[in-house]
């Protein structure tokens, strides 16, 4: 199963006692990149509640170990943010970042637990797609101010999936045109 980090992170936001996302009081957003995340936080209502933003960026790499199959390594990113009322108050800023870092660690712990549960079953029963979570890939960076005085942590990680796409001649047409290369 391919990991759907948007769906998974929304579930995390709903189940986390620190984030408390609901339809009535949203604390989860999806951004197509960091620029849109900035815009989201500029338009967000000032709230002391933690915000979780999933970065919806389809990126990764195909790895090959000299076999005929590729391994799709999906890159995923998210941000955990908290509003700070006074940009000049460094204690408040550092407290917000540390709180976001603690929540990020809790998310990582939950992901590791979900991976553990997935690995106890056969691969076809991995309903989340975290079986191949690369725990060594987790990176985090402090961010802020972003938007309207939000500070926090930017997290990235990778999840792998064996690539099952095989060459199918029916996907291609024959082209009889010969491409000539110029003589030097």
C-beta neighbour count of 166 within 10 angstroms: 7
Instruction: Return d(Cα 18, Cα 75) in angstroms, integer.
Output: 25
Query: 5-163 has which fold?
Result: STM4215-like (3.30.2000)
Per-residue tens of pLDDT for the chain, all 184 residues:
677 888 989 999 999 999 988 888 888 888 766 555 555 555 555 566 788 888 887 766 667 766 666 666 778 889 899 988 888 888 998 999 999 999 999 999 998 998 888 888 776 666 677 778 888 889 899 888 887 788 999 999 888 776 666 767 777 777 666 667 777 6
Measured distance CA(79)–CA(133) in Å, rounded: 18
The token pair at 134 is 């690369």
- pTM, full prediction: 0.77
List the domain boundaries for the chain.
5-163
The string of DSSP letters for 54-114 reads EEEEEEEEEEE-SSS-EEEEEEEEEEEEEE-S-TT-HHHHHHHHHHHHHHHHHHHHHHHHH
């Amino acid at each position: 199963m391919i990991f759907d980090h948007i769906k998974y992170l929304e579930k995390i936001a709903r189940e986390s006692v620190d984030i408390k996302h609901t339809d009535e009081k949203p604390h989860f957003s999806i951004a197509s990149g960091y620029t849109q995340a900035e815009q989201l936080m500029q338009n967000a209502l000032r709230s002391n509640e933690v915000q979780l933003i999933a970065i919806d960026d389809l990126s990764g790499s195909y790895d090959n170990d000299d076999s005929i199959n590729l391994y799709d390594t999906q890159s995923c990113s998210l941000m955990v943010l908290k509003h700070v009322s006074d940009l000049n108050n460094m204690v408040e800023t550092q407290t917000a970042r540390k709180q976001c870092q603690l929540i990020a660690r809790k998310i990582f712990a939950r992901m590791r637990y979900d991976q553990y549960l997935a690995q106890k079953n056969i691969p076809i029963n991995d309903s989340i797609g975290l079986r191949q979570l690369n725990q060594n890939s987790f990176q985090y960076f402090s961010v802020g101010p972003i938007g309207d005085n939000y500070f926090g942590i930017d997290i990235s990680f990778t999840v792998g999936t064996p690539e099952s796409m095989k060459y199918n001649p029916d996907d291609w047409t024959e082209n009889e045109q010969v491409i000539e290369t110029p003589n030097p």
